[in-house]
A and B are shown apart, each in its own frame.
Chain A
Amino acid sequence: MQDGPGKGVMARVARVLSAVSTVALWAAGAGLVLMTAVVAWQVYGRYVLNRSPSWTEPGAVMLMSWFILLGAAAGVRENNHLGFDVLVYLLPRGAKGVLRTISDLVVLAFGAGMVWYGGQLAALTWGSTLPSLGISGAFDYLPVVVGGVLIALFALERIALRLGGAPVDQELDEAPAAGEREEAAGAAQARG
């Protein structure tokens, strides 16, 4: 903990980003619960109130956009995105680091693209109004922009940490069937 000012700053940044990632994850969880409530309300409205509210479908879809992009951004930091790791496992340690850095650069670039082009799309649709929600069409692209910011930030952090010699890839370098990561089993759901 006392090896120069650079590491201290990085540790502080990592703490802040860790908090951001946790907030994103919990917000996505809250989004999931809200989505459940909104769709349940739609069924309730149709059968009990005898009229289908028109805002529930677009509302639930917009919540889902936030849910996906916040959850996927947290996934970049927690490293639980699906990939094809077989080749990387077989390589020596140095080559692994290089490929992982390239991979993070691709993620960083795509995140930046989401911010830039998502922002342009939001600007283009600023004047329009979403029917049945009554808000600006730009809100459609807001999750892409915010998700892009977080994805780029988290990818950048991984690159910086790796360059600083921190063990960011440690869990990944264990064999896939090491059998010690029960959370991995949990985290792997939905893939089938």
Chain B
Amino acid sequence: MELWILFGVFAVLLLIGVPIAFCLGAASFAAVAYMGLPPLVVFQRLNSGMSVFSLLAIPFFIYAGDLMVRGGIARRIVAFAGSLVGHIRGGLGQVNIAASTLFGGISGSAVAEAAAVGGLMIPQMKARGYGVDYAVNVTSMAALIALLLPPSHNMIIYSISAGGKISIADLFTAGILPGLLLALALMTTAYFVARRRGYPTEAFPGLVAVAHLAAVAVPGLLLIAIIFGGVRSGVFTATESSCIAVLYALLVTVLVYREMTWRDFVHATLGAVRTTATVLLIIGTAAAFSWLMAYLKVPASLVAWMNAISDDPLVIILLLNVLMLLLGTFMDMGPMIIITTPIFLPVAQAYGIDPVHFGVIMVLNLGIGLNTPPVGIVQFVTCAVARISVWEAMRSIWPFYFAGLLVLGLVTYVPAISLWLPGVFR
């Protein structure tokens, strides 16, 4: 009965449009009141859930991404990517994906990336005669690469939700090959769709131009080495690296590119406040919610229930994937990771799945959910940038969904794709 109250109140409030942060808080409050526990506990959990040092990485990485977009780092990376892959069939689509891969290596937020790369590429693609639906689908799916490549703040959320015992450096490293695999799969898909539709290629600008554009983009791209090298070698923690990313982005945009005005700075700062404060409040109320789930032994019941279905890990992980894909269509990624990690991770571990591997599966799986209606924030943002409706984009997204699901399948059933690289570094 307690569980029905907890999940029932949450579902009803969510459906009538109450913001997620308050759905989670109010449902926890209702369950606690029903169970006769002191309501203080909800607010104590809310406060302790928000007071975690590693959470600082979320506002910092988003802030750094905002600064990079406003200060011209993103634009130079797109130009560099253009010179590299523009001459492949479906040229600007390939550029879009390559730019997302490079920018994803320094930003980590799929929405920031869809807005930044989409804002630059979609108008160009329209002008060159590409279908808007193609432009949107390439952008929104390529944005998911950012989730897997370090620095991914979603990996940090996963590590925190798992009790902070999983190494963030390992998670960062584990995401690299799956991220590159996703890039490859999307470029291949973009190639075939472009060939069928007869889209053009861009002229290769020559090695001199490539070298020049690369040199211009290097100050931004160096951040990849700084973050990854710093975290991997233990010079600084993941949280500290996010702070370094902010300082470095400021340094490059103010001193090197000299594009950051005071106005841009204020916009980037307030923008980061607007977007991260609400997400972090969700993390706080979700902490109360997931504490109650643990108190009510939800994970243990789920393991028992799964045991009754099958004892084959391959079947269980398939079930978990399907469940996450379904849930992911209805909810945003951050809250989903916080709520489902404490439930699903014990199940996965009970069947011998490595927690780092499971983290990569979860981030990719829920990432695909960012591109599925009814709640698909990356898709919504990309459609808003391109000024088309979600339904127009949906009509031709299927080959790209297929590529994403194929990569998800490979990552799920070939653990080495995730676990080989962290093993090399260890």
Contacts and interface: CB of A to CB of B under 8 A. Distances in A.
Interface of A: 25-26, 28-29, 32-33, 35-36, 39-40, 42-43, 57, 60-62, 64-65, 67-72, 74-75, 78, 80-88, 99-100, 102-103, 106-107, 109-110, 113-114, 117-118, 120-121, 140-141, 144, 175-179, 181-182, 184-192
B111 A192 contact: yes
B109 A61 contact: no
B193 to A, nearest CB: 22
B248 to A, nearest CB: 11
Interface stretch (B52-60, B174-182, B303-311, B347-355): B52-60
A99 B16 contact: yes
Given A86-B375, A188-B115, 10 more contacts: A29-B270, A32-B273, A39-B243, A64-B280, A83-B20, A106-B13, A117-B43, A141-B43, A187-B274, A192-B154
B62 A189 contact: yes
Contacts of B154: 192
Task: Bin the interface of chain B by size.
Answer: 35 or more
A106 B384 contact: no
Interface of B is mostly: helix
B7 interface: no
B63 interface: yes
B47 A40 contact: no
B333 interface: yes
Contacts of B412: none
Nearest to A28: B273
A189 B115 contact: yes
A155 B214 CA distance: 50
Listed from nearest, the 9 A-B pairs whose CB atoms lie closest are A71-B277, A192-B110, A81-B19, A179-B387, A190-B275, A39-B243, A192-B111, A72-B281, A88-B17
A188 B40 contact: no
A88 B16 contact: yes
A190 B276 contact: yes
22 contacts: A28-B273, A29-B272, A29-B273, A39-B243, A40-B247, A43-B236, A67-B277, A71-B273, A71-B277, A72-B280, A82-B377, A84-B14, A84-B330, A88-B17, A99-B16, A117-B39, A140-B51, A176-B384, A177-B389, A188-B115, A189-B62, A191-B333
Contact of B26 (A69, A70, A75, A109): A109
A60 B239 CA distance: 11
B334 interface: yes
B388 A177 contact: yes
Nearest to B385: A185
Given A189-B115, A189-B271, A72 B378 contact: no
Contacts of A36: 60, 63, 243, 246-247
A87 B383 contact: no
> Which of A60, A80, A144, A186 neighbours the largest number of chain B CB atoms within 10 Å of its CB?
A186
A59 B49 CA distance: 16
Contact of A85 (B17, B51, B52): B17
B66 interface: yes
Contacts of A114: 43, 46
Contact of A68 (B275, B281, B334, B381): B281
Contacts of A78: 274
Contacts of B390: 176-177
Contacts of B386: 179
Contacts of A113: 25, 29, 39, 42-43
A72 B50 CA distance: 12
B277 A107 contact: no
